[in-house]
Amino acid sequence: MTNILQEVARNGQPFVPHSPSQFLALQIARKLGALSRASEYAILLEHYPEKIIARSFHACCARGDPSHDSFLQAFRAIIHQPDP
């Protein structure tokens, strides 16, 4: 899945939400200071329950590090995927 996310990130087009889950992805990206990665969060929301994405977001914010890397670390811990 990492390759898919990297390909989307290279697209360079501004992300425009077309559904409630995509709007959530945009808001998460905004809060994490990673607007350029909004489409990546939208893809995650297509493949994982909103509850898991929300838990990941809240976990990285609770640690005082609301960033993309912190979000991914929390996400991987929740889904039990080892860090690359």
Summarize pLDDT for 12-31 with one digit per residue, the tens.
667 788 899 999 999 999 99
Check if the beta carbon of residue 25 is closer than 8 Å to that of residue 39: yes
> What is the domain count for the chain?
1
Torsional class of 15: left (φ above 0), alpha (ψ -120 to 50), beta (otherwise): beta
30 located within any domain = yes
49 located within any domain = yes
pTM here is 0.78
Instruction: Take residue 20 and report the two structure tokens written for it.
Output: 């409630």
75 located within any domain = yes
Residue type at 56 in one-letter notation:
S
Check if the beta carbon of residue 37 is closer than 8 Å to that of residue 9: yes
In 8-82 the beta strands, taken as DSSP E runs, fall at none
**Domain that residue 68 falls in:** 19-79
31 located within any domain = yes
Express each pLDDT in 47-62 by its tens digit.
999 999 999 999 999 9
